[in-house]
Structure 1
Amino acid sequence: MITEIAHLTIDPAQADAFEAAVAAVSCVFRDAPGCRGMALEREIEDPACYRLRVAWISVDAHMVDFRNSEGFQRCRAAVGQVLRG
């Protein structure tokens, strides 16, 4: 098993919209072949920073199967609008 840790930075004023977008696509992660779970964590020290942790059965399940899926595109579209650079 591997753990993907994505460090995401947003405009803190968009936190509610960001968290709602991640919640809306959480099923995409959970239904993806090879995904064993995911969690979104907000940093206390910097409210603009989040960590998205996703457990995968293998690197290929993450980097090949999921990254080349329609689900990945849905996730990027849903949260991409509130991400900073």
Structure 2
Amino acid sequence: MEKAGLTGDVFEIHDPEEKDSIYFLLKDRSHEFTIGLSDVLECLKFAEEKGEVPELPEEWWYMLYGMYPQLSVHREIEKNNEEV
């Protein structure tokens, strides 16, 4: 699997239709593409749930849920798994 690296370029887009306002430019050998901050945070939440990174304070995640509601989906899935 080819890995992409950060180029160091960050774009700030103020568009209410977009789910993110900050995008990071990444590049592999033949492509350039962007990833939004919410996608990075979703990856972090997934890694936390899998035990790949230390657990972050719930208060920190609650602040982000207000800014990025799609992150709370992981929390709902986690709750449902605990109830089973």
Alignment TM-score, normalising by the size of structure 1: 0.27
Relative contact order higher in (CA < 8 Å, ≥ 6 apart): 1
Alignment TM-score, normalising by the size of structure 2: 0.27
More strand by share: 1
Structure of greater Rg: 2
